Every structure is written in C-alpha cells, then in structure tokens.
Structure 1
Amino acid sequence: MATAVLRLPAGETALDPGFPEEVARLSGQPLELCFQCQKCASGCYPTQEGDYTPNQIMRLIQYGARDAVLQSRTIWLCTSCETCGLRCPNGIRMAEVMDVLREMAVAGGISPSGETAPLFHRLFLGEVRATGRVQETMLMMKFKLRTGNLFSDVDLGWRLFRRGKLPLLPRLKKDPAVRQIFQRTGG
C-alpha cells in the first residue's frame, strides 16, 4: 500500500493519519472545528518570520503532515500571546497547540535547520527543572557556549549587570510546586 504524501513548496511530506488525534488529545483543543477563517493568522506577529501561518499549521495538522509541522520554524516563533485564541470563533487555543508541537519536536529530536530556539527551550526547561527557577546568567552562558557565540553580547550583558538586572549568583530556592509540575507532565 502506498504512503499518502502531501506536496508542499518545501517538498513532499508523508501523511500520518493518527497525528491530528494525537495533537488534539495532548493539547486538549478541538482541532476538527477549524474551518480556515484565518483570523488567527491576521493577528499573528511572528508570521512574517515563519514558514507557515497559524491556520496553515492547523491545516497541516488536519492533513496529518507530522514531519512538515514538527520541522516548521513557525512553532518555535510562537510567543503564546493568545491573540489567535482570542480571535478564533471556535475557541481553539492555538498557543496550546503550538506548545504541544514544540514538546513533540523536542521529544523526537526534531528541529528546523539553523534554528536555535529548540536548544534554548531545552536549556530553559533544564534550568527550571534543576533549580525551580531561571537563573538568567547561567542560562545565557550555557546557550552562548552551545551556539559558539559566548562573547557576542558582552556589552549588553555588562550593561544589564551594572543596572542590577543580571545577577551573577543565583537565588536558589527550590519550589516543590515546580517539581510537582514536572512530575505531573512527565518532564
């Protein structure tokens, strides 16, 4: 039996018929209600930098285009501002969907080529998991070391440090509520 494929500008992608149900279950959103009114796309600011608009991501999910969606740059650009969810006439919270897609991509080791957002995402969650909060200096040092740009923002870092916005020592106070969140979500 031949695998169904979808032709996209970036090439062909195989279709996974179980993908829409998986995303709907994990996000808790009624994806089948999307009728492509494009109201989500009209209010999405990162759309100009992404490869797809939110409604196109939704349509790709509905088709089952797992690889195209999880390799998309758009899912990493979403700021979860909730503008799309507020505009949706069917109450689909696209920010919840995008969050699930990012988690699926991380779990599968998938990221768009050249994109550093997945690395930042993993480092950020690792900091929260380890310390219960984000220690900005350590997070940025780890990120800069991993991307090979350790000294690219030294002047900005110095200005933030002088204004007391970038502490050198973390305020370590483990919060049991944070640990419970990670345990509940399996992270």
Structure 2
Amino acid sequence: MNTIDLAACRDQDFMDAVARESGQDLKSCYQCGNCTAGCAYTEDYDIPVHQVMRLVQLGMKDAALSCRSIWLCATCQACTTRCPNNIQVAVVMDVLRHMARRAGHAPERLVKGFADSFLTSVARHGRVFEAGLAACFAIKSGKPLQDAGLGPAMLSRGKLAFMPHEPGGTAKAEVAAIFARFHSGAAEGEK
C-alpha cells in the first residue's frame, strides 16, 4: 500500500481557484457518493465524480487535472441534481476542464479531439451539428470508417441530419456571445 503525504501535495491556490471559478462551496461536499451514483458515465471514468471532488478538496491539482473523467463528463447535471448540499458538481467538472487546458494537461488525444470537435460545432452552428461532429471526429481519430455502420440506423430513426439545425431567434447570437466572453476571459488569464 502506498502512503500519500497530503501536506506535500496540497495546492491551496488550486483549491481556491476552483472554488472561485466555479462559485461553489467545495468544503460542503461530504463524499456521500450521490453524484457518482447518478452519473451515466461512471463505468467509463478512471476516477468517479465524488473522488474527483475529493481530489479538489485535498488540493491534489495534478491528479484532478490529469484524470480522464473530467473530459468524459457530459455536463448532464445529474450529479448536480442529486447533490444534497446543492453543489453544482457539473460546473466544477467544467472548470476543471478549462483549468486542465490552461495548465497544459493534455488528455488522451481522442477525448480532447472529441471535446474540440464538439465545441467547434456549437460555436459554428449555435448548437451541435451531429453529422458534422461525427465526420470531424472520425477524421481526427484517424479511423474515418470505424462507426460508419451506425449511420444508416441513426438516419432511419431521425437521429442524424445531413444539414445543421441552427437555433432560431437570437439563440445563435447568444451562444456566440458565450464563446466570445470565454475567449476574452482566456486571453486576459494569459496576461
């Protein structure tokens, strides 16, 4: 059994930054496990959600920012809904992704490729364009035909369209404003 010296790896600045950027009281998490129990991706995570929260509470920056779990989180809010202390866990996971990018913690190439493809699609169309996302990711993965067999079934069920369904009204402009705020904040953070 390995012993971890928590005093040596505790990063108080990291803990404070996550709390500040997420706007959450991370000390109120008492590791009940409801977030993990409600997560649809728990089986695919290398570290369950409640343990990611614990890593943040302990100030274990490298472990929290280099785990695969933060990149697989779909921000579905199931964890947030189940939290008895009203911690917006999905927001914390999102903040950790942003911090990981800024810190240069490169996740697995395909996980990062999917995340980048997804965000590019949303920025371009105001919402995700599934066929475009699938095509972009297939090319980035280097396996363009790997999931081609899923296409006909998805098309027949109306789950995949050849053209993007852009949101109406001001929704596309509102999404563009979100990306602009993020990019301006990221640029200021680099100064």
Q: What's the TM-score bracket when you normalise by the shorter of the two chains?
A: 0.7 to 0.9
Give the superposition deviation at 1:90: 1.7
**Counterpart in the other structure of 1:101:** 96
**Counterpart in the other structure of 1:154:** 148
Give the superposition deviation at 1:170: 3.6
Give the superposition deviation at 1:171: 5.0
**Counterpart in the other structure of 2:29:** 34
TM-score (norm 2): 0.78
**Residues 51 and 73 of structure 1 are in contact (CA less than 8 Å); yes or no, is this contact kept in structure 2?**
yes
**Counterpart in the other structure of 2:76:** 81
Q: What residue identity is the alignment partner of 1:100?
A: V
Count residues with an aligned counterpart. Answer: 177
**Counterpart in the other structure of 1:22:** 17
Q: Deviations over 1:58-96 (max 9, x none)?
A: 111112111111111221232333333233222111111
Q: What residue identity is the alignment partner of 1:180?
A: A
Higher helix share: 2
Is 1:61 equivalent to 2:81 in the alignment?
no
Q: Secondary structure at the match of 2:4?
A: strand
**Residues 41 and 55 of structure 1 are in contact (CA less than 8 Å); yes or no, is this contact kept in structure 2?**
yes
Pick aligned residue for 2:138 from 129, 137, 144? 144
> Which runs of no fewer than 5 residues in structure 2 stay unpaired?
185-191
> Which runs of no fewer than 5 residues in structure 1 stay unpaired?
1-5
**Residues 70 and 111 of structure 1 are in contact (CA less than 8 Å); yes or no, is this contact kept in structure 2?**
no
Is 1:119 equivalent to 2:113 in the alignment?
yes
Within 2, Cα distance between the matches of 1:143 and 1:134? 13
Pick aligned residue for 1:92 from 68, 87, 93? 87
Instruction: Report the identity percentage.
Output: 41
Q: Deviations over 1:117-157 (max 9, x none)?
A: 22211111112222323222222111111111101122221
**Residues 157 and 166 of structure 1 are in contact (CA less than 8 Å); yes or no, is this contact kept in structure 2?**
yes
Within 1, Cα distance between the matches of 2:24 and 2:91? 8
Is 1:167 equivalent to 2:166 in the alignment?
no
**Counterpart in the other structure of 1:182:** 179
Pick aligned residue for 1:44 from 39, 47, 57? 39
Within 2, Cα distance between the matches of 1:175 and 1:48? 34
Higher strand share: 1
Deviates more, 1:117-126 or 1:33-42: 33-42
**Residues 121 and 127 of structure 2 are in contact (CA less than 8 Å); yes or no, is this contact kept in structure 1?**
yes
Distance 1:32 1:138, change over 3 A: same
Give the superposition deviation at 1:56: 1.4
Q: Secondary structure at the match of 1:139?
A: helix
Give the superposition deviation at 1:14: 4.2
TM-score (norm 1): 0.79
Q: What residue identity is the alignment partner of 1:128?
A: V
Distance 1:147 1:92, change over 3 A: same
Give the superposition deviation at 1:18: 0.6
